[in-house]
Amino acid sequence: MPIYVCKLVGRGTVASFTAALHEATVGPEPRYLMVDTLEMTAYDGEVRSWFIDEWAKKYPIRAIGGVSEKMLWRMVGFAVGMAVGVPTNIFLRSEEAHHWLEKLIERDRSRAAR
């Protein structure tokens, strides 16, 4: 169960998110997604609806671990996770998000083994 890292740099557009999410579109399921926005400077509002209404429906995910220092983006990340309907947590460091996602993967593996 891989963790797919979506690292965004500069302005977040549908095109830049599409490129950053490419590995998750071709890799195996289930998808655990880490979205790192530490180097993102801004984003287009249309990205939210595109991710919720298009990408996440086409490529179902199990969880989102976000990384951001910006309070507004942290709130947006939680809102997106709620809209997609998956466990979501936003962290200040990528190591924290990765560790949280690893714990979810372990939990899911133990549930599947029952």
User: pLDDT-derived band of residue 113, with 50, 70 and 90 as boundaries?
Assistant: confident
What average pLDDT does range 71-91 have in this prediction? Answer: 94
96 backbone dihedrals φ, ψ, rounded to 5°: -65, -45
Higher pLDDT, 113 or 67: 67
**Could you give the CA distance from residue 48 to residue 10 in angstroms, rounded to a whole number?**
17
Q: Please check whether residue 94 is in contact with residue 38, taking contact to mean a CB–CB distance below 8 angstroms.
A: yes
**Could you give the CA distance from residue 59 to residue 54 in angstroms, rounded to a whole number?**
9
Which of these, 80, 40, 72, 39, lies nearest to 56 by C-alpha position? 80
pLDDT, tens digit, 9 for 90 and up, residues 26-65: 888 888 999 999 999 999 989 999 999 999 999 989 999 9
Domains along the sequence of the chain with CATH: 3-113 (3.30.750)
